[in-house]
Amino acid sequence: MSPRSISGARAASGVLVFGAVAVTVSVACSSSSSPGPTYLTRDALLDPQTCAQCHKTYYDDWSGSMHAYASEDPVFVAMNKRGQRETNGQLGTFCVNCHAPMAVHEGATTDGQNLAELPSKLHGVTCFFCHTVEAVQGTHNNPLVLESDGGITMLGEYSDPVPNTAHPAAYSVLHDREYLQSSPLCGACHDIVSPPGAAIERTYSDWQQSIFAHAESSETCGQCHMAQSTNLEPIAEAPNVFARYAHAHTFPGVDIGLTPAFPNVAESAPAVQTFLDTTIQSALCVVQEDGNGAIRVILDNVAAGHSVTSGSTQDRRLWTEVIAYKAGKVVYQSGVVPKGTAVTSLTNDPDLWLIRDCMFDAQGAQVNMFWQAATVESNLIPFPVTIDPTDPRYYQTHVVQYFPRSSMAMLPALPDKVTLRVLLQPVGLDVMQDLVTSGDLDPSFPPTMPTYVVPEPILTWTAEAATHTYFEGPRPVACVTDTNLNVQADKVAAVNHVKCKP
């Protein structure tokens, strides 16, 4: 596809890197119309702090993002350390290919265990890495190809970059968030296949099958995870750089930094909460029959271009906490986890709705570490695939779970009050404790892992509060919801794990 003709508000200063702190390299941020400018060296441009001098806002965003944190994250460091040990080094660059790609590209590491000894410019997913990708030659495990001539041209979404003396700049559809062709640049690092062949991360392949990958209702990775500014602003601090609509480089998702010294840790949690609140709709319902009752929870993935959860779903923990009361006393509960306790410890909770992937080795035994995984069993909330309500697939995101688990089972008593919380841990406490036990993770980190409530307010059912109804055969089901979820619409029964043990 040829570059667009950019004009007016859509136009922007095509030098796309980031910006923010004092650095030792002197950057000539001025624009230049003279022929043959002397640009900065490739070595200087490898350092995000060089980019900071002209692109302060972008650098500030990036420096507090999980892209910057990718190789510093203690869970990543612990996982890689353990994986290298347990595979006798056969894991190789598997983890650092995505978590510190420039360190691999520059030949500075073969296994990621020496990252602490490397200069910071080789840590994380850097400005130089993303903005020098010229091709994507695959679908997973980072098949991104950097400029073949080892050049310093910064590729971006604008076809009219302002000439400058820092580096050349050029248009690339891979970097243009307005086009579907940009999603492979993100997606190819967000689909991961384990060494034994299990698709352990499927964010990009999910998106490819979702409604968002179709022209009539498309939304790219960048459009969702790189919010566009509402005002025109220069994207570089330099003379003659005109105002354009910019887009953020914070890349909000689920994960946040666990190291207090890492920039913007405090700011990350509210951004993640906002993201999650707009993704899942929920309803809490009670079936009434012959003076008794049962509970239904409906979850609907309305906004994500991938399953919920996504990413390293074998390590994420999404579950429902349901508590039923009668005259002030608890008559039923599921998913109630004491603070600081792993949800997987609820082995005496047969109705626990724990939404995650489980991994199995080549012999079919359940395993906890991705380098052992040959297959996956999944019960994630599906992504939307059509906007046509006459298509049965329209309702595949509309998932109902039964409490107690059988659709015909009833509670010990008809409750007069029921509460629901949908809870999410980006990395399960059981995963973190396993890494602590193996000696690979400092025990100070598990208590720093947040648990989000999605959406944030608790949902409370009473007969008086119920405003929505549907029927299970002849049985009326009364519901409450704080969202636009249509409880009367078709629903699919939740997939319950068969082989997976908590």
For 1-22, how does the pLDDT look when each residue is reduced to its tens digit (9 = 90+)?
433 333 333 333 333 333 333 3
Distance CA 308, CA 15 (A): 35
User: What pLDDT digit, counting tens, does each position of 378-403 carry?
Assistant: 999 999 999 888 998 999 999 999 99
User: What pLDDT digit, counting tens, does each position of 113-129 carry?
Assistant: 999 999 999 999 999 99
Peptide bond preceding 143 in cis form (omega within 30 of 0): no
Selection from 221-230, 263-272, 350-359 with the highest mean pLDDT: 350-359
The answer to whether 326 and 292 have CB atoms below 8 angstroms apart is: no
How much is the pLDDT for 36?
Answer: 61
Distance CA 222, CA 240 (A): 27
Task: Measure the N-to-C terminal CA separation of the chain; round to a whole number of Å.
Answer: 48
Least-confidence region, from 21-30, 53-62, 260-269, 322-331: 21-30
User: What pLDDT digit, counting tens, does each position of 399-418 carry?
Assistant: 999 999 988 899 989 999 99
Nearest CA-CA partner of 336 in 316, 356, 354: 354
Q: Which residue did the predictor score with more confidence, 182 or 12?
A: 182
Count of Cβ atoms closer than 10 Å to residue 402 Cβ:
20
Distance CA 116, CA 149 (A): 29
Distance CA 10, CA 160 (A): 11
How much is the pLDDT for 496?
Answer: 94
- pLDDT value at 146 more than 80: yes
3-class secondary structure, 79 = helix
Mean pLDDT of 356-373: 97
E strand or H helix at 472, and its extent?
strand 468-472
Distance CA 322, CA 335 (A): 6
The answer to whether 64 and 267 have CB atoms below 8 angstroms apart is: yes
What does 110-165 look like in DSSP terms, one character per residue? SSSTTGGGS-GGGSSS-HHHHHTEEEE-SSSS--EEE-TT---PEEES-SSPPPBS
Q: Which residue type occupies 255?
A: D
Distance CA 405, CA 351 (A): 5
As a whole number, the mean pLDDT across the chain is 90
Cα dihedral 182, 183, 186, 192 sign: negative
User: What pLDDT digit, counting tens, does each position of 259-295 carry?
Assistant: 988 888 778 888 888 888 889 999 999 998 888 999 9
Please tell me whether the overall predicted TM-score, pTM, comes out greater than 0.85 for this model: yes
> Alpha carbon of 287 to those of 204, 333, 415, 427: distances in Å?
38, 16, 10, 34
- pLDDT value at 297 more than 90: yes
Peptide bond preceding 412 in cis form (omega within 30 of 0): no
Distance CA 278, CA 102 (A): 34
User: What pLDDT digit, counting tens, does each position of 197-214 carry?
Assistant: 999 999 999 999 999 998
The answer to whether 307 and 380 have CB atoms below 8 angstroms apart is: yes
User: What pLDDT digit, counting tens, does each position of 32-50 carry?
Assistant: 555 567 899 999 999 999 9
> Which pair of tokens denotes residue 474?
């002849």
How much is the pLDDT for 275?
Answer: 85
Mean pLDDT of 221-242: 90
> Alpha carbon of 309 to those of 13, 183, 213, 378, 454: distances in Å?
36, 19, 18, 11, 12
Nearest CA-CA partner of 17 in 160, 182, 168, 144: 168
How much is the pLDDT for 274?
Answer: 87
